[in-house]
């Protein structure tokens, strides 16, 4: 294996034996093969769209497949191999459509040379595993470090875009331009493009990321209403409960409906916390609040919850041998784990069936309380824009000196204490804008408010980083500025996995400069590619807490 897609990769170089995340070598290899076959689907899709529209089912399939390969999502090799077989079927289907369309249009057979991803085929498990271990599957197969870096940056960005596109598709919102770009991007990695063209493709990934997050925002808010300022309960009730984690709001909706009047309560965990902010979910009296914190605490928190846990998307870590909750763990969607029960996808027009989860919950004890009290969130763009006059006046009066965007991911590494320490030591006249699980480093600190405006404004999940961009653009307009970088806003971003890379590329596309990124710069950035980002966008690594706060407060 060779994997350096997440921030915790070994020695900040790459995992080659076993992932720091816990991913075995064989699992990493077959995930690479799944991407390889998706490049084959994209090869035919790119050429087909020059003749006729490509059925969006192929784009949606690729999005789901890429989502499977995101860190901490799919752990069951059998499930991933099943995806590979489905990908091969999809590739052969689009290949047949393309060859027929080409022959009809040009009156001849297609004769272009075919890459391996467009031709390799096997239904045999041993052959699949053998192919997955072959050298051509490795991202470092190219001799050029910069080519490897740009291809990986593009594929990683596409993984994040694909995840957000899949979230939107679940709610019935799709954009064929997004699917088209992902196909184009994957197919481009089959070619020997000039470096400048590859850099341009990466920037287009940023543009597509903005478009995708906007689509998902539309899907979420049209379906469940705009998030509202909400005081979220952190304690527990007396009834048995179900804990739902991940990002999928459709799963949340269906679970709440099916648990109503059953005597079973529902709690959110991790990135599902922002579900508490949506009006559509507040009507359910058995929706108690949020339990626990960030994803990497789940070995302890899932154990003490006592009831069933549902993982709807990525953020599932390996179950330790001493833990007992595997029998209470349920996966769904793209998530899989050996030994965990899997809830099948909903049929068209139907709902997922959570009856087995509810049945188990009724036999369990109530959750063990971890903490009490509340926290406040729900500051997505619609809510903050409604407070725009108050915010602008606070800035003009000097009550708010600066906004610090501390969005992104949380992680296990001790160096992430930096973000807690920054929040604790920022001057009292600063406001933190956040989204994603990075907020768990400081969202329960007692940082106070400025004239009634909380000093931590949580916009929601990692995809709701779009809200922070909308807020910044609205503030730019309110202050009559020409450049988003003239705002009293600094960016101190934490990253861990591939959705965060899509968000980073989106911010770069929007022209944001001077971002700090940590705890480390991505290992997949070669020195030359990193230099391009530094020279063009002034991206910089995080430093010491004191130095970074001083620089940010002075606009540097």
Q: What is the 3-state secondary structure (H, E, C) of 312-375?
A: CCCCCCCCCCCCCHHHHEEEECCCECCCCEEECCCCCCCCCCCHHHHHHHCCCCCCCCCCCCEE
**Which of 190-194, 286-290, 367-371, 404-408 shows the lowest per-residue confidence on average (mean pLDDT)?**
190-194
Q: Which two tokens stand for residue 241?
A: 């409960």
pLDDT value of position 137: 82
Residue 48's closest CA among 33, 57, 201?
A: 57
How far CA 40 is from CA of 63, 101, 140, 247, 328, in Å, comes to 14, 17, 19, 29, 38
> 3-class DSSP state for residue 114?
coil
pLDDT tier, 316 (very low <50, low <70, confident <90, very high otherwise) = very high
pLDDT tier, 141 (very low <50, low <70, confident <90, very high otherwise) = low
> 3-class DSSP state for residue 510?
coil
For residues 320-336, give the mean pLDDT.
97
For residues 59-73, give the mean pLDDT.
98
Query: What single-letter DSSP state applies at residue 55?
Result: P
Please check whether residue 40 is in contact with residue 65, taking contact to mean a CB–CB distance below 8 angstroms: no
Q: What b/e sequence results for 366-375 when a residue is b if at least 16 CB atoms lie within 10 Å of its CB, and e otherwise?
A: ebeebeeeeb
Residue 542 makes CB contacts below 8 A (sequence gap 6+) with 418, 492, 516, 517, 518, 519, 548
Residue 435's closest CA among 447, 444, 443?
A: 443
Residues 336-375 pLDDT 10s: 999 999 999 999 889 999 999 999 999 999 999 999 999 9
Q: Which two tokens stand for residue 507?
A: 């911010």
> 3-class DSSP state for residue 531?
helix
Residue 167 makes CB contacts below 8 A (sequence gap 6+) with 216, 219, 247, 248, 249, 313, 463
> 3-class DSSP state for residue 528?
helix
pLDDT value of position 429: 97
pLDDT value of position 242: 98
pLDDT value of position 144: 83
Domains of the chain: 10-223 (1.20.1270.20), 230-361 (3.40.50.2030), 382-553 (3.40.50.2030)
**Which of 127-141, 172-186, 251-265 shows the lowest per-residue confidence on average (mean pLDDT)?**
127-141
> 3-class DSSP state for residue 536?
helix
SS3 of 430-494: EEEEECCHHHHHCCCCCCCEECCEECEEECCCHHHHHHHHHHHHHHHHHCCCCCHHHCCEEEEEE
pLDDT value of position 534: 92
**Which of 261-270, 302-311, 469-478, 541-550 shows the lowest per-residue confidence on average (mean pLDDT)?**
469-478
Strands 489-494 and 516-518: parallel
* Predicted confidence (pLDDT) at residue 140 exceeds the cutoff of 80: no
pLDDT value of position 142: 60
* Predicted confidence (pLDDT) at residue 143 exceeds the cutoff of 80: no
Q: What is the Cα–Cα distance from 440 to 419, expressed in whole angstroms?
A: 10
pLDDT value of position 510: 93
Residues 426-443 pLDDT 10s: 999 999 999 999 999 999
Residues 12-40 pLDDT 10s: 999 999 999 999 999 999 999 999 999 99
For residues 125-154, give the mean pLDDT.
86
């Amino acid at each position: 294996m060779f994997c350096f897609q997440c921030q915790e990769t070994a020695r900040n170089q790459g995992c080659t034996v076993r992932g720091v995340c816990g991913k075995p070598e064989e699992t990493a290899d077959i995930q690479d093969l799944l991407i390889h076959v998706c490049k084959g689907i994209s090869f035919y899709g790119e050429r087909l769209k020059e003749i006729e529209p490509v059925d969006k089912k192929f784009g949606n399939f690729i999005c789901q497949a890429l989502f499977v390969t995101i860190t901490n999502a799919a752990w069951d090799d059998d499930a991933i191999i099943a995806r590979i077989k489905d990908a091969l079927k999809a590739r052969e289907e689009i290949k047949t459509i393309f060859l027929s369309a080409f022959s009809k249009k040009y009156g001849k057979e297609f004769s272009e040379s075919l890459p391996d991803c467009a031709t390799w085929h096997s239904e045999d498990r041993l052959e699949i595993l053998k192919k997955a271990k072959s050298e051509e599957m490795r991202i470092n197969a190219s001799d050029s470090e910069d080519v490897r870096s740009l291809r990986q940056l593009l594929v990683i960005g596409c993984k994040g875009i694909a995840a957000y596109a899949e979230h939107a598709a679940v709610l019935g919102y799709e954009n064929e331009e997004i699917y088209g770009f992902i196909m184009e991007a994957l197919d481009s990695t089959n070619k020997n493009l000039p470096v400048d063209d590859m850099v341009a493709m990466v920037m287009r990934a940023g543009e597509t990321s903005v478009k995708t997050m906007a689509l998902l925002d539309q899907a979420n808010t049209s379906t469940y209403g705009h998030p509202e300022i909400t005081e979220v309960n952190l304690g527990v009730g007396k009834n048995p409960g179900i804990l739902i984690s991940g990002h999928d709001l459709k799963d949340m909706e269906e679970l709440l409906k099916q648990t109503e009047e059953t005597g079973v309560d529902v709690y959110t965990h991790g990135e599902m916390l922002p579900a508490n902010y949506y009006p559509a979910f507040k009507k359910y009296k058995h929706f108690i609040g949020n339990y626990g914190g960030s994803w990497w605490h789940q070995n302890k928190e899932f154990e003490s919850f006592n009831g069933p846990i549902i993982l709807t998307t990525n953020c599932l870590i390996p179950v330790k041998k001493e833990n007992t909750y595997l029998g209470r763990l349920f996966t769904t969607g793209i998530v899989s784990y050996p030994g965990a029960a899997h809830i099948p996808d909903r049929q068209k027009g139907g709902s997922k069936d959570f009856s087995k989860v509810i049945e188990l919950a009724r036999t369990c004890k109530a959750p063990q309380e971890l903490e009490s009290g509340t926290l406040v969130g729900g500051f997505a763009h619609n809510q903050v824009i409604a407070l725009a006059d108050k915010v602008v006046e606070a800035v003009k009066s000097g009550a708010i000196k600066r906004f610090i965007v501390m969005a992104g991911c949380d992680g296990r590494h001790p160096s992430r204490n930096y973000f807690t320490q920054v929040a604790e030591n920022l001057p009292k006249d600063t406001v933190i804008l956040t989204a994603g699980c990075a907020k768990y480093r400081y969202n329960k600190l007692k940082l106070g408010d400025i004239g009634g405006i909380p000093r931590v404004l949580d916009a929601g999940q990692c995809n709701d980083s779009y809200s922070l961009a909308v807020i910044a653009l609205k503030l730019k307009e309110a202050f009559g500025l020409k450049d988003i970088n003239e705002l009293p806003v600094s960016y101190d971003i934490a990253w861990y996995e591939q959705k965060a890379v899509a968000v980073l590329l989106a911010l770069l596309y929007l022209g944001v400069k001077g971002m700090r990124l940590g705890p480390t710069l991505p290992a997949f950035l070669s020195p030359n590619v990193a230099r391009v980002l530094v020279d063009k966008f002034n991206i910089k690594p995080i430093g010491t807490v004191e130095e970074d706060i001083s620089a940010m407060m002075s606009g540097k």
